[in-house]
Structure 1
């Protein structure tokens, strides 16, 4: 629930680039900014106001709460206003800050890729549990920011890794992330649809493909609907067509006992299990995400 704006304004900070903020202290600006974001439907206004102000000041967010009485300079507020205004327009926090944590790593993000989500770590956890050869050949389809393949690279230094992405701009960002994290030399990147001409065979296949039905677009939060790439979000056939293609095209690229793991919508579990069964996979199972919703389904090649 939004807090009341209790600060006594001394000088309203007016700018064509941003909202009104109270020209007092860190504490009063945090309070008024939280209320302003809450009125615009932002889900975590306190956290986001703090994260944006910390970024503008070059501080850690928790440090703000130790310095709530500190006066803010006009130059500091000038840096903060456009950040706050962007969040008020419902631009995702990660896009504004141009970074997002995933697994134990930090990734650069933009409006060209899906923002990495904590629920996708369910796929990484499952992949790391699977028994594979020491130098397993692993491919990540629809890699986006590269967060999944980078997380796997960080945990399995001997795996031979590949990742594909249809969007050239998304692939460029994945390359930038892998290079910044020191994994680029270990990951073969290929631009193209799904396997992008890579025939394998692979010991493990993972994918976080588009799986939102186009009919569900109006139900998405503005942060997703307005700011994340449609190519990475939507699939035809009630959101199942890309998942179906992956299941059908994977088996020919598997060794004996290769696992295919695919993220999907929380109401698609039964349908994806059926796709895996129709494609010929065995030992089909589904894992739940942090909210206990069905999120990743997989099967093993015979």
Structure 2
């Protein structure tokens, strides 16, 4: 099929703009790059030439899917987090830029230390695997209830060359017997924190993500009660628990932490919204 990539890009932009897709230009380019592996400069300088028809049709299929509010990350099959490429699909939560703060905090406070890390509700493994990759001396365990999510985490572990331990468990069921005697320097989590009643109001793209990774119960605090209670017992003396919260529940999570941990603090994200809570075991 004889086409000009610049024309394909512009036509894709038009379709996505008509479907009211935010950042329609970058979305169209990402999908073009996925199929044709070209830089923006190459697109601008492109001349009309022959491409396999299947390639052009696959691009348009993705444009249509994005116009129907399928997440861009699902269409691409991967997404960047902490400068690393992570496999993503509808079985895991899409890594968000604000979650990088958790890893940045760990890098700032534990650089050069052989820390033992427990990443709960790991999903794609982006938090724990980033820590392992950027702090190679760390020992990291990933935990999630979903077999499908853990399969993605395993694939990411292999792709990144980051050797970690992976366990299946529902953290709401308390600490399993095989972890009861383990002690960690860091317990870290970005658990489900959306209130159940708010799930139907989320953006269409977010509703494409697994509900099990979003639903934080009636008040959005279900998982934080378990984390601050049973799971904080796995911290070494002086060990630290670090979590991401909803922008409207940070103060409540802080209060839960203060019932079980010391030196608790609430930190803002880069937009100034209260989002991260830390606490230490005395």
Of residues 167, 175, 193, the one that matches 1:190 is 167
Q: Any idea what SS the aligned residue of 2:229 has?
A: helix
Residue of structure 2 in register with 1:240 after alignment: 221
Partner of residue 82, structure 2? 103
Q: Show the counterpart of 2:281.
A: 301
Specify the alignment match of 2:239 in structure 1: 258
Q: 1:62 to 1:286 in 2, by over 3 A?
A: farther
Q: Distance in 2 between matches of 1:66 and 1:244?
A: 56
Give TM-score, length-normalised by structure 1. Answer: 0.85
- Whole-angstrom CA distance in 2 between matches of 1:170 and 1:115: 11
Deviation at 1:183, TM superposition (A): 1.1
Quickly say closer, same or farther: Cα 1:244–1:74, change in 2 above 3 A: same
SS in 2 for 1:111: coil
Q: Secondary structure at the match of 1:115?
A: coil
- The equivalent position to 2:100 in structure 1, one of 117, 121, 127, is 121
Query: Is the Cα–Cα contact under 8 Å of residues 261 and 296 in structure 1 kept in the other structure?
Result: yes
Whether the aligned pair in 1 keeps the contact of 2:187 and 2:241 (CA below 8 Å) is yes
User: Following the alignment from structure 1 to structure 2, what is the Cα–Cα distance between the partners of residues 245 and 24?
Assistant: 56
Query: Quick check: 1:160 aligned with 2:160?
Result: no
Could you say which residue in structure 2 is the equivalent of 1:151? Answer: 130
Distance, in Å, in 2 between the alignment partners of 1:39 and 1:286 is 41
Structure 1 pair 39/171, CA: closer, same or farther in 2 (3 Å)? same
Mapped pair 1:282 → 2:245: no
| Cα distance change, pair 131–182 in 1 and its aligned pair in 2 (3 A) | closer
Q: 2:15, 2:63 within 8 Å by CA — same for their partners in 1?
A: no
The answer (yes or no) to whether the contact 1:26–1:72 under 8 Å persists in 2 is: no
1:235 alignment partner, SS class: coil
Q: Say whether the 8 Å CA contact 1:107–1:145 is kept in structure 2.
A: yes
Larger gyration radius, structure 1 or structure 2: 1
**Displacement, 1:95?**
0.5
TM-score (structure 2 length as normaliser) = 0.91
Q: Which stretch shows the higher mean deviation, 193-202 or 129-138?
A: 129-138
Identify the residue that residue 269 of structure 1 maps to in structure 2.
Answer: 250
Q: Unaligned regions of 5+ residues in structure 1, if any? A: 1-12, 14-22
1:143–1:208 Cα contact (<8 Å) kept:
yes
Matches within 5 A, 1:77-88: 77-88=56-67
Question: Following TM superposition, by how much is the alpha carbon of 1:292 offset from its aligned partner in structure 2, in angstroms?
Answer: 2.5
Partner of 2:13: 34
Moved over 3 A (4+): 60-63, 69-74
How far, CA to CA, are the matches of 2:195 and 2:148 in structure 1? 23
